[in-house]
Amino acid sequence: MRWLALGALLAVTATAPFWVWNPYHLHTLIMAGIFAVLALSLNLLLGYTGQLSLGHAAFFGIGAYATALLTVKLEWSPWLGLLAAVALPAAAGFVIGRLALKLRGAYFVLLTISFAGVISLISVNWTELTNGPPGLPGVPALEVALPGLPALSLRSKAAYYYLVLTAVGLADLLCLGLMRSRVGRALVALRENETLAESVGIDGTHYLVLAAVISAGMAGFAGGLYAHYTRYVSPEVFLFSYTVTMVIMVVAGGKGTLAGPIAGAVIFTVLPEALRAVTSWQWQMLAYGAFLIAVLYFMPRGIVPTLRDLGRRP
Amino acid sequence: MTARAALEVRDLGVRFGGVSALQGVSFAVSRGSVTSLIGPNGAGKTTAFNVITGFQRPSSGEVRHDGVHITGWRPHRIARRGLVRTFQKTSVFPALSVMENVLTGLHLRGKAGVAAAWLGRRRVREEERRLRGEALELMSFVGLDARRDDGAANLSYGDQRLLELAVALAAAPRLLLLDEPASGMTSAEKIALTRLIRKILEAGVTVFLVEHDMRLVMGISDRVLVLSYGRLIADGTAAEVQNDPEVIRAYLGAGARADA
């Protein structure tokens, strides 16, 4: 039964571009995929180590700007740009992680908020580099060039859908690999009882920095995918609401699980669009809020863990 | 200070503001023995443990483990040397199962890093299998093998204390510091604990104990150290310490019975 459901889900996701005719709907699914990578990245910190980053949009934005600047201004290959979209945010994650050496809990939250604020201000005011509020148009599309074949541009929504789907799968596999090893156990140990973790030889600082680096790199990767998809980057990528959306996806979907953040990303990307189709904007926000409260009230551990337990009981 | 000392503490002092929690404390714990640290509440026993295991920086003095200077080291680095402790207040990973608790304690016995977790799936799987085997051994050693899939938070108090012990043993200690392991245990559980400590000793682990249960302490200790108001007031065999007039005074003064 479980395998059947999983197989059906996989079949539906894998064939979506063939039966989702409306390009806007496909666009929504692509955004859901990008947010799924973001939610998985935030989940590494919030779900496993228990540290709340409220500056995650900064890593997303740094990734988007990194590849946009390198491909537009220096005409790098977009694939190298994507690589930089991982490396640069990961480096930023390292710095934040090191600064958080003695700062846990509320202080970590404040540190990440301030970091995101500073980066956002830079994107608006350092106009020589970032072109300020108008942003950077003309980010090139990704191309797949196999030897002997004409270059395949990932300009179509269907092609990009599959790229993003691969990215989500990869991000999920990376998280799965971590959680199935002692590295993942060390991260969870820090969330559960840091003193005890230290007393059995787990270097808290090392693993916290590690989680921050991987998480930031993953968020930056999502930013790079976003930049090459919309082909345009502006300071809007640093919006605080992006971070809040990520937190909602992780918490409502089920933090500390691998499927929860993905489910959360899909639900909370599709929901606003669905509401937009059926009602006026005043009611959209109200319905969104009511749904969120209902989820948190009836499923405090998140949608995925609750449903999983329901499926196990009979 | 003999070469056989597993732990040497010299002239240890800890001040919290104007208050001295420890003052000029010196002692040694010899390898392969059970040494107990006793004293009235607030005497500084847990503070001494905290300093030795790196959770508290001393204001003065030094700590040596197997001859190596470890004063001021961070706790995980001290644990890596084989100096492992338990805590006075029950301390487990509450949301994890018994099995996962012990597996987490086995951290130092595994090697996999991020690269292996992502690229060396087979090696990680083998390592996980080995660690699970070792976890099972530890769980049956403390007698929790039947409860391996239960959540740690759902265990009885006494079982949680046993789990703590298994987690500490998982870190492969050569010197094990137990902070009031019997507190809150029933007398049957205390007898089982005493037997367990003897088994740990037989496995070649030196045991250093803070404990209030005098029957347990006097029955098992090769040496007893007595702290009072942050100073070491006695250091000898159980019999010597029990008849020491200063020890009797310290306990009576603190409102406890010397022969308790």
CA triple A170-B129-B205, angle to 5 deg = 125
Given a contact cutoff of 8 angstroms between Cβ atoms, the answer to whether A53 and A248 are in contact is no
* pLDDT per position as a tens digit, B90-107: 899 999 999 999 999 999
User: Hey, are the CB atoms on B107 and A195 less than 8 Å from each other?
Assistant: no
Tell me the range of A192-201, B38-47, B247-256 where mean pLDDT is highest. Answer: A192-201
User: pLDDT at position A135, please?
Assistant: 87
d(CA A286, CA A282): 7
**CA nearest to B121 within chain A:** A177
Contact flag B76-A201 (C-beta cutoff 8 Å): yes
pLDDT-derived band at A5 (thresholds 50, 70, 90) equals: confident
Contact A212, B114 (CB under 8 A): no
Cβ neighbours of A192 (radius 10 Å): 20
Whether residue B91 and residue A195 make contact (CB cut-off 8 A), yes or no, is: yes
* Residues from chain B contacting residue A199 (CB–CB below 8 Å): 53, 55, 75-76, 79, 84-87, 168, 171
The alpha carbon of residue B79 is apart from the nearest alpha carbon of chain A, in Å, by 5
A179 and A171 Cβ atoms separated by less than 8 Å = no
| Per-residue pLDDT at A101 | 63
pLDDT in tens, B99-140: 999 999 999 998 888 888 899 888 899 999 999 999 999 999
Domain chopping of chain A, boundaries: 26-238
Which of A49, A185, A312 is best to mutate for the B interface (most B CBs within 10 A)? A185
User: Cα–Cα distance between A65 and A148 in angstroms, integer?
Assistant: 33
* Average pLDDT rounded to a whole number, residues A246-262: 95
Using alpha carbons, select from B173, B189, B179 the residue that is nearest to residue B38: B179
pLDDT reported for residue A282:
86
Q: What is the pLDDT of residue B244?
A: 87
Domain residue ranges of chain B, discontinuous segments joined by +: 5-92+162-253, 94-154
Lowest-confidence segment of A142-146, A198-202, A243-247, B184-188 by average pLDDT: A142-146
Assess B151–A contact: CB distance below 8 Å, yes or no: no
pLDDT band at B253 (very low <50, low <70, confident <90, very high): low
Judge whether residue B252 has pLDDT over 70.
no
- On whether the CB atoms of residues A168 and A262 are closer than 8 A, the answer is yes
Task: Express each pLDDT in B161-205 by its tens digit.
Answer: 999 999 999 999 999 999 999 988 899 999 999 999 999 999 999
What are the C-alpha distances in Å from B145 to residues B97, B131, B140, B142, B188? 12, 15, 5, 8, 19
Least confident of A247-251, A307-311, B27-31, B211-215: A307-311
Pick the CATH number of B5-92+162-253 from 3.40.50.620, 1.20.120.80, 3.20.10.10, 3.40.50.300: 3.40.50.300
Question: Does A224 have pLDDT greater than 50?
Answer: yes
Can you tell me the distance from the alpha carbon of B193 to that of B235, in angstroms, rounded to the nearest whole number?
Answer: 24
- B130 contacts chain A (CB < 8 A): no
- Look at A210 and B114 and tell me if their CB atoms are within 8 Å: yes
Whether residue A29 is predicted with pLDDT greater than 70 in this model: the reply is: yes
Yes or no, beta carbons of B94 and A192 under 8 Å apart: yes
pLDDT at B4: 72
From the list B75, B76, B117, the residue facing A181 with the nearest CB is B117
How far apart are the CA of B204 and the nearest CA of chain A, in angstroms? 19
In the prediction, which pLDDT does A169 show? Answer: 95
How many other CB atoms are there within 10 angstroms of residue B89's CB atom? Answer: 9
Checking if the pLDDT of B259 tops 80, the result is no
Sign of CA dihedral A83, A84, A85, A88: positive
pLDDT for residue A58 is more than 70? yes
pLDDT tops 90 at residue A103: no
Give me the pLDDT at residue B258, please.
43
Instruction: State the smallest CA–CA distance between residue A188 and chain B in angstroms.
Output: 9
Sorted by sequence, the CB contacts under 8 Å of residue B126 that are 6+ apart come out as none
pLDDT digits (tens, 9 = 90+) for A126-164: 988 888 888 898 888 888 877 777 777 778 888 899 999
- Binned at pLDDT 50, 70 and 90, residue B260 comes out as very low
Q: What is the mean pLDDT of residues B79-86?
A: 96
* pTM of the predicted model as reported, rounded to 2 decimal places: 0.91
Cα B222 to Cα A170: distance, rounded to the nearest angstrom: 58
Whether the CA torsion A140, A146, A150, A156 is positive or negative: it is negative
B3: confidence class by pLDDT, cuts 50, 70, 90: low
Q: Give the model's confidence band at A179: pLDDT under 50 very low, under 70 low, under 90 confident, else very high.
A: very high
Reported confidence tier of residue B1, pLDDT bands at 50, 70, 90: very low
Q: What is the pLDDT of residue B79?
A: 96
Residue A44 is classified by DSSP as I
pLDDT tops 80 at residue A57: yes
Q: How confident is the model at residue A87 (pLDDT cuts 50, 70, 90)?
A: very high
Q: Percent of chain B at pLDDT above 90?
A: 73
Answer whether B118 sits within 8 Å of A199, measured CB to CB. Answer: no
- Quick count: other Cβ atoms within 10 Å of Cβ A267? 18
> What tokens were used for B228?
């009072």
Helix (H) or strand (E) holding B178: strand B175-179
Q: Hey, how many other C-beta atoms are within 10 angstroms of the C-beta on A106?
A: 9
A195–B87 CB contact, under 8 Å? yes
Rounded to a whole number of angstroms, the distance from the CA of A258 to the nearest CA of chain B is 15
How confident is the prediction for chain A on average, in pLDDT? 91
Kindly state whether B155 is in contact with chain A, defined as any CB-CB distance less than 8 angstroms. Answer: no
Residues of chain A in contact with residue B86, where contact means CB-CB under 8 angstroms, are 199
Pairing of strands B5-16, B19-30: antiparallel
What pLDDT does A313 receive? 64
Task: Write out the two tokens for A132.
Answer: 């300020």
> What's chain B's average pLDDT?
91
